[in-house]
Structure 1
Amino acid sequence: MGGVNEELTAWIGRGLAASVRGFMLGVAFFVSGLTLLVLWIVSLSLLPVLGVGILLLPLVTVAVRALADERRRLAGQWSGVEIPSPYKPRPSMESFGLVGAWQRCLWILGDPATWRDFLWLLCAPLTLALGILGAALVGYGVEGTLVMPALLRFIDGYHYGLGWAIDFPFEGIVAIPQGVLILALGVASAPALLRLHDRSTKQLLGPTRQAALDQRVRVLTRTRAETVDAQAAELRRIERDLHDGAQARLVALGMSLGLAEDLVTRDPAAAQKLLAEARDASDRALSELRDLVRGIHPPVLAERGLDGAVRALALTLPFPVEVDIELDGRPQAPVESAGYFAIAEALANVVKHSHATRAWVLVRHSGRILVMTVSDDGVGGADPARGTGLRGMERRLAAFDGTVAVSSPPGGPTVVIMELPCELSSPKTLPSSGTG
Structure 2
Amino acid sequence: MRTYAVAVRRALTLGAMALGDVMLVALMLVGVVLSFGLGMVFVFPSLTKAMRCRTGQARKLNAEWLGIAIPAPYLPAPLPVRPQPDGWYRHDRQLYKTGRWPDWQNRWQWLIGDPATWRDGLWLFLSPLAGAFLLLPLALAGCAALAVGSQDSPAWPVALACAAVVALAATPHLLRGYAWWNLLLLSPTAESVLAGQIQRLDQARLATVDSQASELRRIERDLHDGAQARLVAIGMTLGAVEELMDKDPAAARALLGKVKEASSTALVELRDLVRGIHPPVLAERGLGDAIRALALDSALKVTVTVDLASRPDSPVESAAYFSISELLTNAARHGGAERVWVDISGHDHALRVVVTDDGSGGADPSRGSGLRGIERRLAAFDGVLAVNSPQGGPTTVTFDLPNALAERHQNHKAPPLPRGKMIIVGLGWGLGWLPLFPQGMVAGVMKIIDLEHRSWFLALYLPEPLQWPLIAFNILLGLSMYAAAMLIPLQHARRTRLAEVAPTRLWLGRC
TM-score, structure 2 as length reference: 0.62
**CA 1:81–1:103 in 2, change beyond 3 Å: closer, same or farther?**
closer
The structure 2 residue matched to 1:113, chosen from 102, 113, 116, is: 116
Q: CA deviation at 1:292?
A: 0.9
Measured in 2, the distance between the counterparts of 1:407 and 1:394 equals 15
The one-letter amino acid of 2:53's match is: A
Alignment of 1:5-16 (within 5 A): none
2:454 — aligned with what? none
Alignment of 1:35-434 (within 5 A): 35-47=23-35, 54-73=41-60, 75=62, 79=67, 81-92=69-80, 104-125=107-128, 128=131, 157-160=155-158, 163=159, 190=172, 196-387=177-368, 389-409=370-390, 412-420=393-401, 421-423=403-405
Measured in 2, the distance between the counterparts of 1:21 and 1:245 equals 73
Aligned to 1:354, the other structure's residue is in SS state coil
Q: CA deviation at 1:324?
A: 1.9
Contact preservation (8 Å) 2:337, 2:359: yes
Deviation sequence 1:206-259 (CA, Å, 0-9, x none): 333333333333333333333233223222222221121111111111221221
Q: CA deviation at 1:314?
A: 2.7
2:11 — aligned with what? 23
Deviation sequence 1:71-100 (CA, Å, 0-9, x none): 445555663545243234135469898887
Aligned to 2:263, the other structure's residue is in SS state helix
Q: CA deviation at 1:64?
A: 2.9
Aligned to 1:338, the other structure's residue is in SS state helix
**CA 1:88–1:366 in 2, change beyond 3 Å: closer, same or farther?**
closer
**CA 1:249–1:212 in 2, change beyond 3 Å: closer, same or farther?**
same
Contact preservation (8 Å) 2:73, 2:192: no
The one-letter amino acid of 2:157's match is: H
Measured in 2, the distance between the counterparts of 1:48 and 1:121 equals 19
Measured in 2, the distance between the counterparts of 1:251 and 1:17 equals 85
The one-letter amino acid of 2:48's match is: T
Measured in 2, the distance between the counterparts of 1:392 and 1:25 equals 47
User: Unmatched 5+ residue regions in structure 2?
Assistant: 82-95, 143-153, 408-511
**CA 1:98–1:319 in 2, change beyond 3 Å: closer, same or farther?**
closer
Q: Which moved more, 1:196-205 or 1:88-97?
A: 88-97
Measured in 2, the distance between the counterparts of 1:352 and 1:31 equals 61
Deviation sequence 1:294-329 (CA, Å, 0-9, x none): 211112222332112212223344433332211123
Q: CA deviation at 1:106?
A: 4.5
| Structure having the higher Rg | 2
**CA 1:195–1:401 in 2, change beyond 3 Å: closer, same or farther?**
farther
Aligned to 2:223, the other structure's residue is in SS state helix
Q: Which moved more, 1:207-216 or 1:85-94?
A: 85-94
**CA 1:272–1:379 in 2, change beyond 3 Å: closer, same or farther?**
same
Measured in 2, the distance between the counterparts of 1:380 and 1:39 equals 53
Contact preservation (8 Å) 1:54, 1:101: no
The one-letter amino acid of 1:118's match is: G
Deviation sequence 1:173-202 (CA, Å, 0-9, x none): xx9xx96x997x57xx83x76555444323
Deviation sequence 1:376-435 (CA, Å, 0-9, x none): 34454444333253332233223223222334455554432211222378xxxxxxxxxx
Contact preservation (8 Å) 1:325, 1:362: yes
The one-letter amino acid of 1:216's match is: Q
Q: Which moved more, 1:318-327 or 1:403-412?
A: 403-412
Contact preservation (8 Å) 1:37, 1:121: yes
**CA 1:255–1:102 in 2, change beyond 3 Å: closer, same or farther?**
closer
**CA 1:99–1:347 in 2, change beyond 3 Å: closer, same or farther?**
closer
1:430 — aligned with what? none
Measured in 2, the distance between the counterparts of 1:83 and 1:39 equals 26
**CA 1:254–1:369 in 2, change beyond 3 Å: closer, same or farther?**
same
Aligned to 2:351, the other structure's residue is in SS state strand
Aligned to 2:250, the other structure's residue is in SS state helix
User: Unmatched 5+ residue regions in structure 1?
Assistant: 1-11, 141-155, 167-174, 426-436
Aligned to 1:360, the other structure's residue is in SS state strand
Q: CA deviation at 1:35?
A: 4.9
Measured in 1, the distance between the counterparts of 2:9 and 2:394 equals 33
Measured in 1, the distance between the counterparts of 2:102 and 2:223 equals 54
Deviation sequence 1:349-377 (CA, Å, 0-9, x none): 33343344443222111211111122334
Measured in 2, the distance between the counterparts of 1:197 and 1:217 equals 32
Measured in 1, the distance between the counterparts of 2:20 and 2:271 equals 65
The one-letter amino acid of 2:55's match is: A
1:171 — aligned with what? none
Aligned to 2:247, the other structure's residue is in SS state coil
Q: CA deviation at 1:17?
A: 9.7
Q: CA deviation at 1:282?
A: 1.5
Measured in 2, the distance between the counterparts of 1:390 and 1:24 equals 48
**CA 1:22–1:243 in 2, change beyond 3 Å: closer, same or farther?**
farther
Deviation sequence 1:252-310 (CA, Å, 0-9, x none): 11221221222133223322322222122112211211211121111222233211221
Contact preservation (8 Å) 1:83, 1:202: no
Contact preservation (8 Å) 1:79, 1:195: no
Contact preservation (8 Å) 1:332, 1:424: no
Q: Which moved more, 1:39-48 or 1:362-371?
A: 39-48
Deviation sequence 1:33-59 (CA, Å, 0-9, x none): 4554444333333437999x5554433
**CA 1:292–1:47 in 2, change beyond 3 Å: closer, same or farther?**
same
Aligned to 2:246, the other structure's residue is in SS state coil
Q: CA deviation at 1:105?
A: 4.0
Percent identity for Structure 1 against Structure 2: 44
The one-letter amino acid of 1:159's match is: P
The one-letter amino acid of 2:301's match is: P
